[in-house]
Amino acid sequence: MNSRQRLQATLRHEPVDRVCVDFGATAVTGMGAGAVHRLRQAVLGDQQWRVKVVEPYQMLGQFDDALRQALGLDVVGVGSPVTMFGFRNDEGWKPFVLFDGTPVLVPERFNTTSDAKGDLLIHPEGDLAAPPRGRMPHGGYFFDSIIHQEPIDEDHLDPADNCEEFAPLDPAIVRQMAGEARRLASETEYGISLALPGCAFGDIALVPAPWMKHPKGVRDVEEWYVSTIARPDYVHAVFDRQLETALETIDHLAEEVGDRADAAYVSGTDFGAQHGLFISIDAYRRLFKPYHQAVNRRIHEKTPWKTFIHSCGAVHDLIPEFIDAGFDILNPVQCSAAGMEPKTLKREFGRDIVFWGGGVDTQQTLPFGTPEEVRAQVADRVKILGSRNGYVFNTIHNIQCNNVPTENLLAMFRALADARGMETARMIP
């Protein structure tokens, strides 16, 4: 069974020869560039290699094919080359040094300045004349959006202002994504995950629109959450317009990509916190579910893609709603949150949704535990979540901190290789 067959069988809840593994195929299943650098040095030992920062917002590092093969990964991603700060990651690379001294490569238009505190400021579209839209604190690992919120006039709020960024995907980008899917499908045996731009309704990482120089509308995070209660008509009007363009994008990608993709990343909107939901089930049904149903219905009508929702936190009580809305895959499976005990999740929902994540806790165990604790948790999660099929191993969200001990990263992959019965365990020191 090759990687593509393994992923396809996993998504159909069918038996596989070993658990499927993803690192780096989506924007929520990756690893900070500094961590990828140290892992690659430990596994492959090429001291001159510089990891590419493929998504600057989270400073995610690329898993190149040599590292992917050494670790036994099964899934690759296809997405738009336009990053969260509006510049492309396919127009050349230049050297950059992270705060911890790690040498990496960043996109050519990754242009930054510094403030008096030494914080790193990044500018939309690489335009240093534009106000910065992201801030990385001195010594930090990733950027937070700098909010640009114009005064809100309740009598003149226009939903069109929050829809500036929603337009049908550029046909050239559609062709580029389809070409990459064709190449991967014909030249490799990896499973393929396709990122669908514009399908995440109310994703709080996207609301501030850090790729835009002067966004209008409701862009402040607090104001957006207030709007879901105080301005529901406004939110619905934004979502209605977003849905129109999302369906058009799906149609174009379905026609061009066809059956070359296996999974489709649809939504990254978080609905849970550490101890519970921060949206009621009724509010999810009113505000979000109709749009999720419409997107999933169109994808399932036109393609074989299985649809992927990412929602952090204690979302146990919303999982039946996600399933009813048509989602096939749940990520990141935050087992450290209230009500997200893996045995319970697998027993209650394992026949109806694929779990993609949950393999090790990135809040405590991976950064602060011992290698033995990491190995034990990985083995336990693979045994529980991988039982009765329908599981893709990944950590609980991205490994963001570059200072996760290398020994713990290696312990994770050793335990994973052992659980899978793979000879690649010998390649991991």
Per-residue model confidence as pLDDT tens digits over 8-40: 999 999 999 999 999 999 999 999 999 999 999
Give 301: exposed, middle or buried? Use CB within 10 Å, 0-12, 13-18, 19+.
Answer: exposed
Name residue 330's amino acid.
L
Helix ranges (DSSP H) in 231-280: 232-257
pLDDT at site 47: 87
pLDDT at site 424: 55
Name residue 360's amino acid.
V
pLDDT band at 421 (very low <50, low <70, confident <90, very high): confident
pLDDT at 388 over 90: no
Q: Count of residues for the chain?
A: 429
Using one digit for the tens of pLDDT, what is the confidence trace for 156-179? 999 999 999 998 899 999 999 999
Name residue 365's amino acid.
T
Q: Domains in the chain, ordered, with CATH?
A: 3-50+63-86+154-427 (3.20.20.210)
What secondary structure does DSSP assign to 142-208, as a single string?
A: S-EEPP--PPP-GGG--GGGGGTT--PPPHHHHHHHHHHHHHHHHH---EEEEE-TT--TT-TTTTT
Q: Tell me if residue 350 falls in helix, strand or coil.
A: coil
- Cα–Cα separations (whole angstroms), residue 127 to 69, 133, 136, 375: 37, 11, 17, 45
End-to-end Cα separation, the chain, in angstroms: 26
Strand duo 306-310 + 263-267: pairing: parallel
Using one digit for the tens of pLDDT, what is the confidence trace for 272-303? 999 999 999 999 999 999 999 999 999 999 99
pTM value > 0.85:
yes
**What is the rounded average pLDDT for all residues in the chain?**
96
Token pair in block for residue 150: 């114009």
Give 393: exposed, middle or buried? Use CB within 10 Å, 0-12, 13-18, 19+.
Answer: buried
Name residue 117's amino acid.
K
Count of Cβ atoms closer than 10 Å to residue 44 Cβ: 16
pLDDT at 425 over 60: no
